[in-house]
Structure 1
Amino acid sequence: MSKMKIELPEPLPYSAELPVRITDVNYGGHLGNDALVSLLHEARVAFLGHHGFSEGDCGGAGIVVSELEIAYRAEAFYGDVLSIAVGVGAIGRSRADLFYRVERSADAREIARARTTIAFFDYAARRPRRTPERFLDTFCARSSA
C-alpha cells in the first residue's frame, strides 16, 4: 500500500487552536478519524469567518465539500490541543482546494495533513455556481496590469 502524500502550499496563513475532547477519542484511545474530520470542519468555518465568509455565503455562493483526503502522521490524545493551519490552494472555475496542517500545540508534532475541495453551490437553485469574485479577490494574487 502506498503512503498518501499531500503537498501543502506555503504559507498556511490561518491557524485555529482546538482541543481533543473525550468524545473525539475512539476505542483505540486516540483521536478518531471521524472526529478529525469534524475538527477540520471547525477550522474551515473559523478560517472562512476570519475572511468574512461562511459556508452558506462564501462571497455570494454556498459551499459543499466534494473531496476529502487525509494523511495521518501521528496519534493525538484526549487533552491535546491541536493547531490546525488552513490555507487556500488551487482555485478553479467553480471550486477551490483548502489545505490543513494539524499539529499538537505542545510539541509541534505533525498529526495529519488534509485537503478538502470545496465546490461553490447555489442552495436555492440546487446547482453549482461559479467561483465568486469576492472569493477570488480575497485569495488570488492579482496583477494590476
Structure 2
Amino acid sequence: MARVQIELPRTWLYRTRLDVRVTDVNYGGHLGNDRVLALAHEARVRWLASCGLSEKDVGGVGLIMADAALVFKGEAFLGDELDVELGAVEVRRSSFDLVCRLNRPADGAEIALVKTGMVCFDYVARKVARLPHVLARCLESVS
C-alpha cells in the first residue's frame, strides 16, 4: 500500500510550542488526526501574525487551504507539549505548501508531519490571486 510522503523544507521559517488539550484527544486516548490539522492551523496563524499578516490579509488578498496531508510518526497524549516547526516548499506564482513537523520535546519523539497547500485568493473578486510581495518575503525569512 502506498504511503503519503512529505518532503521537509531545507529551513524552518517559524517555531512555536503547543499543548495537547483534552479537546485534542480522541476515543483512542491520543492526539486525533483532525486535531493535528488544527494544531498546524494554529502554527500557521501564529507564523502569519509574526510576519504582521493574517489569513484574511497577506498583502491585499487572503489564503485558502487547497489540500492537506498528514503522516503520523508517533502518539501524543493529553498534557504533552509539542514543538511545531513550520517551513515552506514549492512556492509558486499563486500558491505554496507549508510543512509542519510536530515533536515532543520531553523525549524527542517525532509525532507527525503535516503539509497544507495554500492558495492566495482575492475574496472580493472570488478568484485566485498572485502571491503578494510581502508574503513572498515572509516565506523566504528564517527565524
TM-score using structure 2 length: 0.93
Q: Specify the code of the residue in structure 2 equivalent to 1:112.
A: A
Shift of 1:10: 2.1
1:99 aligns with 2:99: yes
Q: 1:126 to 1:80 in 2, by over 3 A?
A: same
Among all aligned residue pairs of Structure 1 and Structure 2, give the percentage whose two residues are the same amino acid.
43
1:137 aligned residue: 137
Deviations 1:62-110 (A, max 9, x none): 0000010111100100000111100111211110111111101212210
TM-score w.r.t. the length of structure 1 is 0.92
RMSD: 1.3
- The 3-state SS of whatever aligns with 2:135 is helix
CA distance in 2, matches of 1:35, 1:135: 26
Q: Within 2, Cα distance between the matches of 1:51 and 1:122?
A: 20
Amino acid at match of 2:126: R
- The one-letter code sitting in structure 2 at the alignment partner of 1:5 is Q
Figure out how many residues of one structure are paired with residues of the other and give that number: 141
| Residues 78-97 of structure 1 aligned to structure 2 (within 5 Å) | 78-97=78-97
**Residue 9 of structure 2: aligned partner:** 9
Q: Counterparts of 1:13 and 1:107 in 2: how far apart (Å)?
A: 23
Moved more, 4-13 or 73-82: 4-13
Code of the residue aligned with 1:65 in structure 2: it is: M
- Pairs within 5 Å for 1:121-132: 121-132=121-132
Name which structure has the greater RCO, CA cutoff 8 Å, separation 6+: 2
In 2, Cα distance between equivalents of 1:52 and 1:2: 39
CA offsets per residue over residues 3-62 of structure 1, 9 Å max, x none? 322120121131111100011111100001111111110000001111111100012210
The aligned counterpart of 1:120 is 120
